[in-house]
Chains A and B, each alone.
Chain A
């Protein structure tokens, strides 16, 4: 379970998160929508401790992310995150990209790590690209590799930050299909996305962020069917 309590966060004078309260249960798929600059990415990077917060707290399985005593490297093994820019390790093959963290962080043997990496890469449809370098992959393939790389750590939670936004429209589908597959397998996910159709289909709940505040949160039919705030109405009208 991810529990976010009264989280505030500023970059200098700019308050980006203005008191976020949110709980994501095991197995839930939450999508987060909202205009650019509303704090969606910041929230995700706070959840796995890549960014510090100013006040409030975030608990992952009961462990406070920003407590001094928390071993972040350990905690991050539970929380996979995939960014808009796929961030392949360009000096490693696809297989090595996926094997690296399990070997060095989890201390897996080469054979174990290789077997797991191969399994995850097949899972996302890259079984035939194992020994290729990332530069040879399309954006969609690199993004799926990044997903496999995160999955190979055996995370309990997956955070996706606009993973299709930097892709050619033609390649969006294959990555969304991978996310759908994960959702159907019961992975707990927080997906920041601009794909409203996707959000409608896979989400248990959808959260709408506006200027650092979670303005609305509801199951998709409700949120898309009957927006309560003028901001959401405006946002939805603009995205159609």
Chain B
């Protein structure tokens, strides 16, 4: 069906692109989740009033298109701050914040879904706020948050296609470069789609595995 001029070297370029996509996603999701959990707990605990500054920053990250955030951030650190920072670092930074913004929303919502009475029972046994958080509230909240968090991670992986604007050769950019050179858009896009699927699929499976494991009844 496909007669292609693609060489093994070109294919390897796609593999490297996929590796870059995976790396940027992994870093951003890891940092973004840690920051998001902290911000989520803070927003939940502090109440809407005190949380306003944090919420504002996170809302900006959620509402300004990623493409604009990336371009602006890159221009800002290189041209204004005159820092010699790679596009890769900027991409990770922006995507981490972007992940953190959504993650904090997920965490806050999930914590709100934990019945206050269950936590009260924990506190009445002499547990501190932190112990209650750690052993009761967060475990229960993570079960609620898991599906949305998996969705977020997969979303970040797809959105990372935009980091070509800061000159990072991830999967999508590699594909586009090849398309320009080989002029085989259909085949290459299909292949690119397969790559995205291959790296997303384990994450989705892992999610449903956890979901099953955590359903205690």
Within 8 A of B (CB), among A133-160: 133-136, 146, 149-150, 153
Q: How far is the CB of A137 from chain B (nearest CB, A)?
A: 10
A73-B127, A101-B127 as given contacts; A89 in contact with B217, CB under 8 Å: no
- A-side contacts of B123, CB under 8 Å: 50, 76
| B122 proximal to A (CB < 8 A) | yes
Interface contact B121-A146, CB-CB below 8 Å? yes
Within 8 Å by CB of B118, from A80, A89, A101, lies A89
Per-residue CB proximity of A68-83 to B under 8 Å, as 1/0? 0000011011011101
Q: Which B72-98 residues sit within 8 Å CB-CB of chain A?
A: none
**Binary A-proximity of B107-145 (CB < 8 A = 1, otherwise 0):** 000000001011011111111100100011001100100
Q: Judge whether A91 is part of the interface by a CB distance below 8 angstroms.
A: yes
B132: nearest chain-A partner, CB-CB: A104
Contacts of B140 in A (CB 8 A): 89-91
Q: Report the bound CA distance from A175 to B185 in whole Å.
A: 71
Q: What is the CB-to-nearest-CB distance from B93 to chain A, in angstroms, rounded to a whole number?
A: 35
Q: Is B4 an interface residue (CB 8 A)?
A: no
Given A87-B118, A91-B139: A73 in contact with B128 (beta carbons within 8 A): yes
Cα A76 to Cα B118 with chains together (Å)? 16
Known: A91-B214, A133-B217. A153 touches B126 (CB 8 A): yes
Q: How far is the CA of A91 from the CA of B125 in the complex (A)?
A: 17
Q: How long is the Cα–Cα vector from A134 to B217 in the complex, in angstroms?
A: 8
Q: Which of B165-217 contact A (CB under 8 A)?
A: 214, 216-217
Question: Given A85-B117, A87-B120, A146-B121, is A77 in contact with B126 using a C-beta cutoff of 8 Å?
Answer: yes
Q: What residue in chain B is nearest A78 (Cβ atoms)?
A: B126
CA distance A79 to B123 in the complex (A): 11
Residues of chain B within 8 A of A93, CB atoms compared: 216
Assuming the contacts A83-B117, A104-B131, A105-B131, asked whether A90 and B216 have C-beta atoms less than 8 A apart, the reply is yes
- Per-position 1/0 for A86-130, Cβ under 8 A of B: 011111110000001100110000000000000000000000000
Identify the interface centre among B121, B127, B139: most chain A CB within 10 Å of its CB: B121
B143 pairs with A101, CB closer than 8 A: no
Inter-subunit contact A91/B143 (CB<8 Å): yes
Q: Tell me if B125 and A89 are in contact (CB < 8 A).
A: no
A216 smallest CB distance to B (angstroms): 28
Question: Cβ of B216 and Cβ of A133 under 8 Å apart?
Answer: yes
**Nearest chain-B residue to A134 (Cβ)?**
B216
CA distance A88 to B119 in the complex (A): 10
Name 21 interchain pairs, CB-CB below 8 A, sorted by A: A48-B124, A50-B124, A73-B126, A73-B127, A73-B128, A76-B123, A77-B125, A77-B126, A83-B121, A85-B117, A100-B135, A101-B125, A101-B127, A104-B127, A104-B131, A133-B216, A133-B217, A134-B216, A146-B121, A149-B125, A153-B125
The contact of B125 among A74, A105, A133, by CB within 8 Å, is A105
* Measured CA separation A76–B124 after assembly (Å): 6
Compute how far the CA of A134 lies from the CA of B118 in the bound complex, rounded to whole angstroms: 13
A52 to chain B, nearest CB (A): 14
Query: What residues on B are CB-neighbors of A87 within 8 Å?
Result: 115, 117-118, 120-121
- In the complex, the chain B residue whose C-beta lies closest to that of A105 is B126
Q: State which of A50, A77, A100 has its C-beta within 8 Å of the C-beta of B120.
A: A50
Question: In chain B, what residue has the closest Cβ to A77?
Answer: B126
Distance from B129 Cβ to chain A, minimum over Cβ atoms (Å): 9
Q: Name the residue among B124, B127, B143 with the largest chain A CB count within 10 angstroms.
A: B124
